[in-house]
Structure 1
Amino acid sequence: MTDLFSPLTLGAIELDNRIWMAPLTRCRAEGEHVPTPLMAEYYAQRASAGLIIAEATMILPGNSAFWHEPGIYSAEQIAGWRKVTDAVHQAGGKIALQIWHGGRACHPDLNHGAIPVAPSAIAIANEEVYTPKGKQGYTLPRALSDDEIPAIIAGFAQAARNARTAGFDMVEVHAANGYLIDEFLRDGSNHREGPYGGSRENRARFLFEVLDAVSTAIGANRVGVRLSPLNSFNDMKDSDPVGLSAWLATSLNERNLAYLHLMRADFYGKQTGDVLTPVRQHYRGTLVVNMGYTPEEAQRTIAEGKADAVAFGTAFLANPDLPARIRRGAPLNQPNPNTFYTPGPEGYTDYPTLAG
């Protein structure tokens, strides 16, 4: 019987198990968005994951949304990430890089005054962002013109090439959680006309063009994509998230990606519905699921064929040896939310393992 500890062929690579580490923003990069040796230690500690998906990483300068998140567009960043991937590989692990554009979730105070961009000039409401001046509300973005979009697509493709140069086994295109690609996908944030607005086909055009460019750059068998059709984080909504999910799952089949990573729920519980069932019904490739899975539910999910792998977020954050703990039925460390985004090793590299 297939379970969490069964090996998995994932595109161009082989994985030892189906317990993945979900991408988790931790804000430990240096001032110029350069990964640090501390980050190498953190990821190497978690190398027993079937696949580590490293945190959301900027494809281009000027689209920071978290202040101290990493980038993958400069030589210094590539060199910093190379230390991370070398450490993970030396520990026997596999690692993907999540490549990302923050869209309207960026803030001028994080980007030398630059106005954020989005599919439409609609600001994120009722949420705040950390900046050098403290917490602030989001600002009104400007709508991208159609002729600006190819440069961003090219940025994704170059980021994928840079990720491979940095030693990553694959990349995950971040099309979730209210950032730029997701903003194009959902009709709550995309009110534009023309080839990138209106119908599902038009709203998904940007996503598909990014995936095609990234696949051409490094091979589709090294490319995954993450979707969050129900998540209302960053003031997101869609009039038909279940229908959008089923349509995207069918449309993605022809691209032969390494995997589809589906967030099944909403951080805030505002939007409900079953997106997993239609996605599993329509998507023929490797399906990875995420959000709120206990080890027991994850085991059932794999055994029943509802997904091919399960990505754990805060459970992996607090338990560097999560696969060993699941195998032994050992208790899990509890994460400390107060240190999720703070500098330094506290709440980052100091969580204990079973070995002490």
Structure 2
Amino acid sequence: MNLAARNFGSSGTAARLQFENIRHGYGGREIVRGVSLTAFPGKVLCLLGPSGSGKSTLLRIAAGLEIPHAGRLLINDVEASGPAGFLPPERRGVGLMFQDFALFPHMTVAANVAFGLTHVQKPARQAIAAEALARVGLAGYEAKYPHMLSGGEQQRVALARAVAPRPSVLLMDEPFSGLDSRLKDQVRADTLAVLRETGATVVVVTHDPEEAMGMADQIALLKDGELVQTGSARELFTRPNSVFAASFFSEINRFDALARDGNVETPFGTRPAPENLMNAELDLAVRLSDIRITTAEHPEATPATVLNRRYLGTSEHLTMRLEQGGDVVEASVGAGVLADGISRVFLIVADDSILMFEKQP
């Protein structure tokens, strides 16, 4: 029987997972502060943020490994955690893939994959495990043991085990963090292909913005236990709502400024202020990649002196000091764009490349 015939993890099994005003903490310290968020059926939601932002705590609450101090967790509108009661992990239809894969070293690959299929009769378990292994490209590995596999192969075994029971929601905690950087991209792409075919709702915890942008239908950016911004990768990159959000997805130059009478004095000249920030103290952000470097004077260009340049293969990282004001600015340009020995350059920054945010206390 093939995977298609079994309707393996089809989109019909996907569930909607909702966090409603979740609060939780440890030792008197609040780790999650009033987070409301929805993972939509059949989509990939990435919980993104630095260490200590509450990502893994939310995942553990979704799995039923933690009971929130306040708020509710709903799965298809059924309260799994909250004032009305608690649904045990085994009754949630939720799969969990751990950061360290958590494979049993004394069990074969097939036995590891079949471990969670206790509700299925033994002969069928073997068939389902074999199908799941074939799905992740490990057909024929059934009799091997985890220590005989590479890191990427162990990751795929863990994935096969997670999807074999056809969970309605699959939770993944930093699933690629233990992989070599050269292997990570391929394993991530293979994993995403499998997840798309299973059709489950997927929640991935990661601290890597590139990983989140490459996998997610929706990203939830967290900081200090609070939800900062949600949206698609494109929305969060092109329309960040804070300096923190802008800096999390790309390297930025940051400046203080003041909006007055509709204008802002920036290090790159006077620019119009946003309509909602006509008179306010501002944080300005300019991505390194949004600064264009030229050696020719230009009426809209800002002169600068090159302090340092680092060759990075396909690009160069430049550190410069603006001649007017003395601000130090960094930029990323293509390798070979700037000839060796150049010390004076001119910077051109488009109006829409200067991100402006009201300064937060």
Normalised-by-shorter TM-score class:
0.3 to 0.5
**Greater share of strand residues, 1 or 2?**
2
How does the TM-score come out when normalised to structure 1?
A: 0.35
How does the TM-score come out when normalised to structure 2?
A: 0.35
**Greater share of helix residues, 1 or 2?**
1
Larger Rg: 2
